[in-house]
Amino acid sequence: MGGRNETKVMYFILLGFPTTAELQLLLFSALLLAYLSTVLENFLIILIIRNNHSLQKPMYFFLGNLSFLEIWYVSVIEPKMLIDVLSHDKYISFQGCITQLYFFVIFVCTEYILLAVMAYDRFLAICKPLRYSLIMNHQFCVQLIAGCWMCGLTTSSIKLSFIAQLSFCDVGEINHYFCDISPLLNISCSDSSLAELVDFILALMVIMVPLCIVVTSYTCIMFTVLKIPSSQGRQKAFSTCSSHLAVVLLFYSTTLFTYAHPKLMYTYSANKLVSVLYTVVVPLLNPLIYCFRNKEVWFALGKTFTCTRHI
C-alpha cells in the first residue's frame, strides 16, 4: 500500500500525552492516586455489601458486580499508563496490545449492559413493586449478570477476530495512551473497512440497545413517580434511582461521544482527553456517587467502620 513496509509487527509505541519533565511526576502522582482510590473505593463497596444484611437486595447485588467490574476495568489500562508516564520507551508488544484491547472491550461492553440491567431493576422496583420480589429473585439476578458477561465476551471476541487479521506497517505509533480499536484501525496497512464496519455495527448494538432500555425504564419511572400524591413519596421513590441515573449519564455521555464514529473521532489528539474521563475519572467518581447519594450505602458504610473499631 503506497510503498509502506508490511512486516509482522512485534510491538507498538503508545504516544500517550506529550508532557514536560516537570509535569511527568505531577501527572504520575495524580494518576496513581486516582487508580489506588478507584480500586479502594470499589473494593470497599463490595466489602460493605457482603457484610451488611440490609444490603442483600438485587440493586446492591448489581452494584457489587459493577464495582468488581470497574476494578478490572481500570486495571487493564491504568498500570501500563502509569509506567509510560515515567518511561521514555512507551513500547507495548503486539500480543500485549491485543490482550489489553480484548479485555478492555469485554469490560466496557459488559458495563453498558450491566447499567441497562440496573435501570430495568429500578423500573421493576418502582413501577411493578408488587411483582418485584417475584421477578427479581436470586437466580434471575445471577442469570442477568452471566448474560452481561457473555455479551461482553462475545462482542470482544468478534471484534478482535477481525482486527487480528489486519496487517500493520513497521513499528506502529498508536496515538493514544492505551490500545483502543480506532487508533489501531488508523495505523493498519491493509484494508480495514470490514473491521471498521463490524466494529461500528457491534458498537451501535452494545451502546444503543442498552441505552434504549435505560431511556425507556427511566421514562416509565418518571411517569410513575409523578403520579405519587405526596412530595415526600416522590422524593423517596426518585432517591432510589438517582445514584444510578447519575452514573449512567456520566458513563454513556463520555463513551457515546467517543465511539459514535470511532475512526473519525480519533483523528484528533484532543479526544484522548475524553477517554481519560471514562477510563480514569468516571470509575473514580462512581463509588462516591453511590455513597453520597444513597442513604442505605452511607449508613452501611458507617456501620462497617463502627464495627471495625470495636473489634
Read off the pLDDT of residues 118-143 as tens digits, 9 standing for 90 and up. Answer: 999 999 998 998 999 999 999 999 99
Write down the pLDDT at residue 3.
45
**3-state secondary structure string across 188-241:** ECCCCHHHHHHHHHHHHHHHHHHHHHHHHHHHHHHHHHHCCCCHHHHHHHHHHH
Read off the pLDDT of residues 231-270 as tens digits, 9 standing for 90 and up. Answer: 777 777 777 777 888 888 888 888 877 765 545 444 556 6
Write down the pLDDT at residue 2.
45
Write down the pLDDT at residue 55.
82
Write down the pLDDT at residue 64.
92
Q: Which fold does the domain 11-310 belong to in CATH?
A: Rhopdopsin 7-helix transmembrane proteins (1.20.1070)
Identify the segments of the chain with pLDDT beneath 70.
Answer: 1-8, 170-171, 259-270, 292-296, 298, 300-311
Write down the pLDDT at residue 209.
93
Write down the pLDDT at residue 306.
64
Write down the pLDDT at residue 116.
95
Cβ neighbour number for residue 92 with a 10 Å cutoff:
20
Write down the pLDDT at residue 79.
93
Write down the pLDDT at residue 75.
95
- pTM to 2 decimals? 0.88
